[in-house]
A and B are shown apart, each in its own frame.
Chain A
Amino acid sequence: MKKLFAGFLFLLFILEGSVFQWLLPQAWGSTFIVIPQLVVSGMIAISLYLPRRYVLLLSFFFGLLHDVVYGPALGISAITLPLVAYGTYRMAAHVPPFQWVAGVLTAWGQLIYLILIYGWDRLFDFTDVPVVLAMWNYIIPSTLFNVIIGYPIFKVIHLIYQKKRNRSIIFDTILR
């Protein structure tokens, strides 16, 4: 199951930088800029199911991969992604993984992730976008988009979990 999750996240990771760059509004001249964060949506959905250790390891790995391949410097998403995934993991521990719970958690996770990334980028001088503009033109449209696209991602992860859970259910309950 973990291998399937990792494979699915890697596919999402590849789609972010390639296919979506042709489809998103900014490619057609819009002033609203959508940052596709499929991996973050996927990671949040996974954090509802997997034990803590795997959530942290997987999110750290994908954060680091994001930094190496896409990012301006190493460490920014490698720390922010585990932080957000751990947050949603903690919140999800109190509620069963219903769809609306996943939706609310994705919205919160995405918003916080975007704000943190913007904060780091501004701090390290990788961007110069003013706060208000970043909020209205970058962060809010991106959050909306990622919540919508997060629904099918959540469905796929739920499906993988449903199919594979019997094999590792005892293992998971012990660790959780």
Chain B
Amino acid sequence: MKRNMTQRIFIIVISVVLLFISAGMTKGDGDILAGPEGWIQNGAGWIEGVFYTPFSGLFADGKGTKSASSPSVEELKLRARVNELTKENQELKEMLDYKTENRLESIQARVVYRSPDRFSNRVVINRGTDDGVRPKMPVVTPQGLIGRVQTATSHMANIQLLTDSGDGPGIAAVVQTDKGEVLGIIEGYDEQKRRLIMKKVPVTAAPKKGQIIVTSRLSDIYPGGILIGTVDAVTMNESQVEQVVYIKPSASFEQLDYVAVVKDPEKLQLKSMQK
């Protein structure tokens, strides 16, 4: 009995140590996943897409289907189809506008599944390195920036949403004030207030509520001018040497369907030159 107990404790300790090692090693950011991990994710993404995408039609207007009488299955199916087509049409049109306005190349994609584990916010899209997606590329919807590519496999890509409060590099962003642009860095997300946190804003600047925040051209990976959100509140940080701006994101991070990965030729060139 006693030996049995020691054995059990030993097994638990070993497995916790293994957890630390494996989590530390696979915490990878900006990797291209090949081998078994990539295959599993491709396969899972394909299967999940079959379940995930049909639902976008049902909830196309974001209100769900409501009806007083009980409609027949045929009617529901047709309605779902109409909703889906309307939404697809509208989203693709918006995408097109977005593209012509911004003159950046973009890769259209659909979300195939979302991680249920809400402590880390990530979604997976059905475009991978074969379609030109590379880690660290920004991902947008017609409403604005939603995140960046974290890892990619040959046919799928993991998107880390802006709402992910874990570690990750900050995003250089600018507030468009009356007296020119004010630079800051977006680091983290306040779950309670549901606002993005922008730090390192100089004290001399006076951002006002409602002013627009976009990505900065100075960033290594993000092209300039992608809409992020509007200023909601401004406070001083604890040491009183810089301001903290709370940003109300313009994009919705729920019920995601069509997204686009932005490919900025300039930044790609920059990256290859750095190498």
**Taking beta carbons and an 8 Å cutoff, which residues of A are in contact with B?**
14-22, 26-29, 31, 33, 35-37, 65-66, 68-76, 78-79, 83, 117-118, 120-121, 124-130, 133-134, 137-138
A126 touches B120 (CB 8 A): yes
Known contacts A14-B47, A17-B115, A71-B117, A76 near B122 by CB under 8 Å: no
B27 touches A73 (CB 8 A): yes
Known contacts A19-B51, A120-B23, A70 near B118 by CB under 8 Å: no
Q: Does B18 contact A (CB under 8 A)?
A: yes
B52 touches A128 (CB 8 A): no
Q: Does B71 contact A (CB under 8 A)?
A: no
A17 touches B119 (CB 8 A): no
B166 touches A126 (CB 8 A): yes
Please give, as numbers and ranges, the residues of chain A lying within 8 Å of B52 by CB-CB distance.
Answer: 17-19, 21-22
B29-67 CB mask vs A (1 if < 8 Å, else 0) is 000000001001100100111011001101100000000
Q: Shortest distance in angstroms between B87's beta carbon and chain A's nearest beta carbon?
A: 13
Nearest residue, chain B, Cβ from A28: B254
A76 touches B118 (CB 8 A): no
Q: Which of A18, A124, A126 contacts B113 (CB 8 A)?
A: A18
B18 touches A33 (CB 8 A): no
* Cα(A18)–Cα(B254), bound, Å: 13
User: Secondary structure of the A side of the interface?
Assistant: helix
A128 touches B188 (CB 8 A): yes
Please give, as numbers and ranges, the residues of chain A lying within 8 Å of B180 by CB-CB distance.
Answer: none
Q: Which of B23, B51, B117, B165 contacts A128 (CB 8 A)?
A: B165
**Taking beta carbons and an 8 Å cutoff, which residues of B are in contact with A?**
12, 15-16, 18-19, 21-27, 37, 40-41, 44, 47-49, 51-52, 55-56, 58-59, 112-120, 122, 165-167, 188-189, 191-192, 194, 254-255
Can you report 14 residue pairs joining A to B where beta carbons are below 8 Å apart?
A14-B48, A17-B48, A18-B48, A28-B254, A35-B116, A35-B118, A66-B117, A68-B41, A74-B23, A75-B22, A75-B26, A121-B166, A128-B165, A130-B191
Please give, as numbers and ranges, the residues of chain B lying within 8 Å of A31 by CB-CB distance.
Answer: 194
A75 touches B51 (CB 8 A): no
Known contacts A17-B52, A22-B59, A72-B27, A127 near B120 by CB under 8 Å: yes
* Cα(A117)–Cα(B189), bound, Å: 20
Nearest residue, chain B, Cβ from A33: B118
Closest 5 CB pairs of A and B: A128-B165, A75-B22, A18-B51, A18-B52, A17-B113
A71 touches B115 (CB 8 A): yes
Please give, as numbers and ranges, the residues of chain B lying within 8 Å of A125 by CB-CB distance.
Answer: 166-167
Q: Which of A65, A72, A133 contacts B192 (CB 8 A)?
A: A133
Known contacts A18-B52, A68-B37, A73 near B116 by CB under 8 Å: no
Q: Which of A27, A74, A83 contacts B254 (CB 8 A)?
A: A27
Please give, as numbers and ranges, the residues of chain B lying within 8 Å of A36 by CB-CB distance.
Answer: 116
* Cα(A128)–Cα(B112), bound, Å: 26
Nearest residue, chain A, Cβ from B150: A72
Please give, as numbers and ranges, the residues of chain A lying within 8 Å of B16 by CB-CB distance.
Answer: 79
Known contacts A15-B51, A26-B118, A26-B254, A68 near B40 by CB under 8 Å: yes
* Cα(A81)–Cα(B131), bound, Å: 36
B120 touches A17 (CB 8 A): no
A76 touches B23 (CB 8 A): yes
Known contacts A70-B117, A73-B23, A127 near B41 by CB under 8 Å: no
Q: Shortest distance in angstroms between A115's beta carbon and chain B's nearest beta carbon?
A: 11
Please give, as numbers and ranges, the residues of chain B lying within 8 Å of A138 by CB-CB distance.
Answer: 118-119
Q: Which of B12, B119, B194, B255 contacts A22 (CB 8 A)?
A: B255
Q: Shortest distance in angstroms between B221's beta carbon and chain A's nearest beta carbon?
A: 20
B48 touches A72 (CB 8 A): no
A73 touches B119 (CB 8 A): no
Known contacts A27-B254, A69-B41, A127 near B119 by CB under 8 Å: yes
Nearest residue, chain B, Cβ from A121: B119
* Cα(A142)–Cα(B189), bound, Å: 21
Please give, as numbers and ranges, the residues of chain A lying within 8 Å of B41 by CB-CB distance.
Answer: 68-69
Nearest residue, chain B, Cβ from A142: B118
Q: Which of B18, B55, B58, B191 contacts A75 (CB 8 A)?
A: B18
